[in-house]
Structure 1
């Protein structure tokens, strides 16, 4: 393990909660032609300013195959610790590490239309630090509180700098009533040093209901300022990229429609996790890969359809 870097983003150190500015760029310079992507200069500028980018109907031809394969994973991985249930029921909330359990999922996140955007934004080769499926069943899918992913990855996993991006595809329609993601545009330019301190194995409860790394109300009010909360909605097949430090959360699913998304956290090969800044033991590998290997783009015509069986679906 590498020598510990200076902690530029101290959090959960038993001190009063504060808000500081980030020390890292949002988009990193690149020097290799192969890191070029499909993004326009206007889209890159929007990502730098807002901290997220929505690409409607970007990979809709993959949706049916991914739904089917993830439906299989729900059965194949049944009983494993990577499957997290809702805090107040046995309904499935999250499937972690699908990229290591299914080749189609890995192919999707290695597709040049996805991977090259991550490489361009991070200015380097990247690896899949974490992958997951977030599932909000009809009526019972519970909320996720306001939080910055980077705060947790920094404190509990040892991610040194803000040089990661999450890419995700909507596997079902995401609309205002089925618990869509909400973001605060521009919030990625500041960092909330949260109160409290982290206990051993905090992840065992936080994956069901996060309590630490959740900013206090007065911090959220200051962070919002004159910014407007934005919902990230769209049809199945929409792809979203959001910056690792953007403040985001989601409400309960109060509708009869399921809401499911497939996500991959791309981390720069120049930003590999070190010893957690909480001085605790690293979280399990399915939350933060400790054996990173760069992903390489597949051909554009990589197979997307394998033995589709409509009887097995992620929304079942």
Structure 2
């Protein structure tokens, strides 16, 4: 199945106006119930309210070792480094991310289709899910750069044609996340508001945005207002644990100036009832390795 040119009303306009606008998000965040999957009602309420949930230990020590071995191998493999799916830091030339790993890497493919993850995503989204994007993120000690504040959905809507924020990301920690080595930061509750950003989308914007977020980044005053209203949660956790968060959460991470790397496997699940159409605010869709057009259900 692939992207179609079906016309869908744009409920989340962005990158077209002259000033930033904050819009209410219509519809639910959680589409399933406690009876639909492994998570209880309290966990689902927390996700509905805060936009994220923590899983203390998702994968086994053996699985963690296996994923860490792939993390190391991919960062040093010359063929992998030369592939367009590998993004390197602009200054240090260290690997920043390797995309499309659920299709190119057998170890990640297995975990991406694992019922422990897929069942949670299906419960949150209320349907079968497919993998919109996957990557291994590296944030090596001393040189790992920051990710600016942004909503993933704003980018996926504008540049990939995702109609609604009926998607969830999971970050599986391959290293310990400390408060000081660039962990994920989320403004809890921010997922219930949508920031319509100013400025257009440059051609082939992904080449810049995968290295450093540009188009689709909210202005400082709006971010300040959000931080004042929602606060900032710094999400620490041990290797082998995971964070699941709503696609519209305002999130970021600091650079890593410590000796301790912060790396993770990152997988995006989108509802099969929310498949992508033509981009809403970009001249053309991003490449397949960034936004998949294979809508086959995960885990099947």
TM-score (norm 2): 0.94
What is the correspondence of 1:119-158 to structure 2 with a 5 Å cutoff? 119-158=122-161
Contact 2:201–2:282, Cα closer than 8 Å, also in 1: no
Among candidates 106, 109, 124, match of residue 106 of structure 1: 109
Match of 1:270 among 273, 277, 287: 273
SS in 1 for 2:8: coil
**Cα deviation per residue 1:52-97 (whole Å; 9 max; x = unaligned)?**
0001122243211111123333315120011111132201111111
SS of structure 2 residue aligned to 1:9: coil
Query: CA-atom RMSD, angstroms?
Result: 1.5
| Structure 2 CA distance for aligned equivalents of residues 226 and 22 of structure 1 | 16
8 A contact 1:60–1:236 mirrored in 2? no
* Pairing of 1:271-286 with structure 2 (within 5 A): 271-286=274-289
Seen in structure 2, the aligned counterparts of structure 1 residues 282 and 226 have a Cα distance that, compared at 3 Å, is: closer
Q: 2:80 and 2:293 mapped to 1: Cα distance?
A: 21
Partner of 1:54: 54
What do residues 121-166 of structure 1 show as CA deviations (whole Å, max 9, x unaligned)?
0000101110011111111001011000000000011000110000
Q: 1:198 aligns with which of 198, 201, 204?
A: 201
How far does the alpha carbon of each residue in 1:269-316 deviate from its partner, in whole angstroms, 9 at most, with x for none?
A: 11111000014111000111112210126xxxxxxxxxxxxxxxxxxx
Q: Indicate the SS of the match to 2:138.
A: strand
Task: Report the counterpart of residue 17 of structure 1 in structure 2.
Answer: 20
How many residue pairs get matched?
Answer: 294
Stretches of structure 2 that go unaligned for 5 or more consecutive residues are none
Structure-1 residue corresponding to 2:82: 79
TM-score by length of 1: 0.90
For the residue of structure 2 that corresponds to 1:77, the secondary structure is: helix
Alignment partners' CA distance in 2, 1:162 and 1:227: 19
SS in 1 for 2:258: coil
